[in-house]
Homo-oligomer: A and B are copies of this chain.
């Protein structure tokens, strides 16, 4: 059947709440109460699922069909309480801790970046503190926003407070744009993160960037958090806090394909705002393809022969 037909799970994988036997779970997290400017990421999971109508089974870089090597299920969405952040965070943390098992790698579809905090609670519950590979225009390590403790600018501070991340093995890439205060970029560094600003990215060298990531995380369990605003607004216009001067999709994909050998225990893709993506929905298409790269990466790790870029 044409891929745009039928009920839209991610890439038409089976829907299931039972993750016990799954290798990978696609989990929507339709929450956007943490957003500070534009809103609407609550519709991100549905839009990304729909955009997977553009994904075909076979990944030419890895020469395999990810879904043949991985048992992938679509969990549907985590339960949220729109407008209520701490309620959502606590409820979702609990739901995810229960639902996940160590052998199942979750791929979360946000939602604004707030969602990474409860996701990390669940992932660290099963794997201990993770190395964070964080693509984003922003550091998301504020300790408050508007005086409140949790929002899309604070998830990694929230996670650090609970010991969910190993900052010494973590790295942020793509930082750029204007800052709230002096120190916004020094802050993650003081917290222990390595940071790569866009000014360091030119001239672009995928091997060098991938090398920095690989050296940073080593053999620790890795959680890769991809804020779609790591991409330039030309490539991902539909996001909440766009920053000019970002990555192209070619660059991002080149880096992602060079991350062989990392021990991924979770991913998320956040901050897609479908209301701002009409009519061609290229942001959702980019998001779907980046998630597809995660799947390809996971599948390739399970095959004897490693082929790559």
CB of A201, distance to nearest CB on chain B (Å): 8
B residues in contact with A4, CB < 8 Å: 30, 37, 42-43, 46
Do B84 and A146 have beta carbons less than 8 Å apart?
A: yes
B residues in contact with A289, CB < 8 Å: 177-178, 243-245
A263 CB–B CB distance under 8 Å: no
C-alpha spacing A179/B55, complex, angstroms: 8
Q: Which of A45-86 contact B (CB under 8 A)?
A: 45-46, 49-50, 53-61, 63-65, 74, 76-77, 79-85
B residues in contact with A32, CB < 8 Å: 39
**Chain copies in complex:** 6
CB of A287, distance to nearest CB on chain B (Å): 10
CB of A60, distance to nearest CB on chain B (Å): 5
Q: Which of A141-185 contact B (CB under 8 A)?
A: 145-148, 151, 175, 177-182, 184-185
Q: Which of A121-129, A210-218, A277-285 contacts B (4 or more CB under 8 A)?
A: A277-285
Tell me the nearest residue of chain B to A112, going by C-beta.
Answer: B83
A40 CB–B CB distance under 8 Å: yes
A254 CB–B CB distance under 8 Å: yes
Do B242 and A250 have beta carbons less than 8 Å apart?
A: no
A234 CB–B CB distance under 8 Å: yes
B residues in contact with A179, CB < 8 Å: 56-60
Do B43 and A42 have beta carbons less than 8 Å apart?
A: no
B residues in contact with A184, CB < 8 Å: 58, 60
Do A242 and B282 have beta carbons less than 8 Å apart?
A: yes
Do B77 and A237 have beta carbons less than 8 Å apart?
A: no
Do B285 and A242 have beta carbons less than 8 Å apart?
A: yes
Known: A9-B7, A178-B292, A234-B235. A54 touches B1 (CB 8 A): no
Known: A5-B77, A82-B35, A182-B58. A279 touches B278 (CB 8 A): yes
Digit string of A210-247 for contact with B (CB within 8 Å is 1, else 0)?
00000000000000000000001111011101111110
| Residue among A80, A232, A234 having the largest count of chain B Cβ atoms under 10 Å | A234
A198 CB–B CB distance under 8 Å: yes
A304 CB–B CB distance under 8 Å: no
B residues in contact with A55, CB < 8 Å: 178
A36 CB–B CB distance under 8 Å: yes
Do A5 and B28 have beta carbons less than 8 Å apart?
A: yes
A106 CB–B CB distance under 8 Å: no
C-alpha spacing A39/B83, complex, angstroms: 10
Tell me the nearest residue of chain B to A244, going by C-beta.
Answer: B249
A33 CB–B CB distance under 8 Å: yes
Do B84 and A85 have beta carbons less than 8 Å apart?
A: yes
Known: A1-B79, A7-B7, A182-B58. A280 touches B199 (CB 8 A): no
Do B82 and A282 have beta carbons less than 8 Å apart?
A: no
B residues in contact with A99, CB < 8 Å: none
A286 CB–B CB distance under 8 Å: yes
Do A46 and B50 have beta carbons less than 8 Å apart?
A: yes
